[in-house]
């Protein structure tokens, strides 16, 4: 149920929010809302951006990052680890051998037909 803004006691709401753990309050909102400044109560409470982001699950944090930027700062080994199985299955042997040994081993494990 939405309460009209004219009926909201903002001072009381601010006091209540100050008593609650920030991570519990923020988990109720998706990343786009929180980082866009919604709800306004959180912005007025001056919750630091780091606290907001740290309180969110990775899926919500990534929701605000465009897909083409999600892997931008990763080296090629870590980019390979992020690839879906369908793409990994299309990779040539030379590519897999060119990766760091630990990364190659992990990708081969994922590609193994006996994997559970």
- pLDDT tens-digit series, residues 7-60: 667 777 777 767 777 666 666 665 556 566 545 566 566 667 677 777 777 877
Q: Give the pLDDT band of residue 89 (cuts 50, 70, 90).
A: very high
Whether pLDDT at 91 is above 80: yes
0.85 cut: is pTM over it?
Answer: no
Q: In 3D, which of 96, 100, 93 has the Cα closest to residue 75? A: 100
Residue 116: per-residue pLDDT: 46
* Torsion angle of the four alpha carbons 18, 24, 27, 28, in this order, in degrees rounded to the nearest 10: -70
Q: Give the C-alpha distances (Å, rounded to integers) separating 33 from 22, 54, 105.
A: 15, 15, 40
């Amino acid at each position: 149920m939405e309460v009209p803004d004219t009926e909201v006691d903002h001072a009381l709401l601010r006091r209540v929010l100050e008593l609650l753990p920030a991570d519990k309050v923020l988990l109720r909102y998706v990343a786009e809302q929180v980082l866009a400044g919604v709800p306004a109560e959180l912005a007025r409470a001056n919750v630091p951006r780091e606290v907001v982001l740290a309180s969110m699950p990775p899926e919500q944090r990534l929701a605000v990052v465009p897909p083409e930027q999600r892997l931008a700062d990763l080296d090629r080994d870590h980019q390979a680890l992020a690839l879906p199985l369908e793409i990994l299955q299309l990779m040539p042997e030379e590519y897999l051998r060119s990766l760091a040994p630990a990364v190659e081993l992990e990708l081969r494990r994922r590609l193994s037909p006996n994997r559970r």
